[in-house]
Structure 1
């Protein structure tokens, strides 16, 4: 049995106040706002804890504690920074996941002008300049700087998992579903580990909203928000690789389902709060975050199952007519 601190959430403890979480994330963003230029070979980045308990992404561990190296993939960089997307339905970098007054919030610039909108995440970019120097920044390069540099999104950082915010105003019974993205990886992993692909897709939606480069304030990574120790136990070498992340997450979810006798709700609760917490309380732990997480995963699971069954029926009918 693999034990794990909650994937991007409470870690078996009651969820902290949202205001504290936002304050710590804001502190991290402010620290990142001071950009730095590095030699081309210096590509190590660390997630550390600052003096006030805030999460810090930095290339130097000096002055911080509990530093953990973040794997930086050496894939090709793009000529220009990715453009911001107005919808979370596009599987690409440059995410703008946020909470608003409606399920479908407007683009970030407009949202910034509205009272009560809470920005829950941001991004860290790697900028390769013409002279070969490398800059890491949370400010998207624009204008001349963008034209004369190659930029790629290293990862996006989120305050908490997509379905973990107790105060979320997203209507989970109506939020758009993602039925085709990562279809092959989800189908293969679900088949290999005997997990309902609809549940697997619901967990991905609840954890990262299908953002493959998400990093939470607690260090959970990728589509299924695997904590580093859990990812290692599940054989995941690169948590930002979508296929590996789904494979590891499906394997872990299968273990939880086996532990809790196939109970989807308890497995979801364990994915959020940890299996020890579920065993301690003999059911869904009385944590506010875990309770809403389980409710939302249950809703997403039902909707994905119905939608996937409908699509399968349509495909079968089409094949019958073609025959």
Structure 2
């Protein structure tokens, strides 16, 4: 991992990250409180009917927005988990494609899209795993499930596998991990340390006024534009990626950065060997290098690795037809009758 001064060299990495972000969390706490106070009333805990959109209540009471597509009587439900800076509209192509043969559930992670933020203490990968469990319990109360996670969404899937291994092989019959990682992501791939120091200083000095929020968001969008794709895509697709982030609160996004620098979900990987697992990598991914996908595939017994050429981090938007076909293959494999040895 690459971390530059002034975070020091004698303190463990996790402690350095926590110290660096402590002042940020303190300065953001007021904004988080106001966001929580303005969130919609918490719905009662109940399973979802076949409505197109609804709310799921996380274990700590945070409302999470959920959309349901496809045939409610389909034999399998595919749950799509989006990544950092996005919302469930990220899966635009895959939702339409998979809904032809499956019930498709998509949701917004807390602090993203139409889901509430909650407290900053809840903005961590373990909580995202808990949130995914709530989505499964309330939106998919029965039947086989295939989980697909992109980037941070894949990390949430691995967090769930670590927390609830009994689900994998019974309720969860397949997993797709798209351009994600199980081990710490190099700091330069998430945010260059020089830029991180500048961002931290700006947040501290500007105290996240509306002007600084717009400036920081615009800077993040410029970085995202350069990191999302490895090939030529239509301008409308680039604009779509930029639009995905514009409703996301900056303070929530900043609070999640340490999670990627200290990530370690490798203990969850053997659990995924109990189900059909597909790992999709992108050979020109500069956000999460393809070596992470290869490492996951090596550690999950029986996993299949599909490395897509000429592709960047946002491969489901860059090469939707390829990703759609791979996910259809995963669903077919995951739901095929199991052959038990005599």
TM-score clears 0.5: no
| TM-score using structure 1 length | 0.24
| TM-score using structure 2 length | 0.23
Task: Compare the two structures and name the one with the higher helix fraction.
Answer: 2
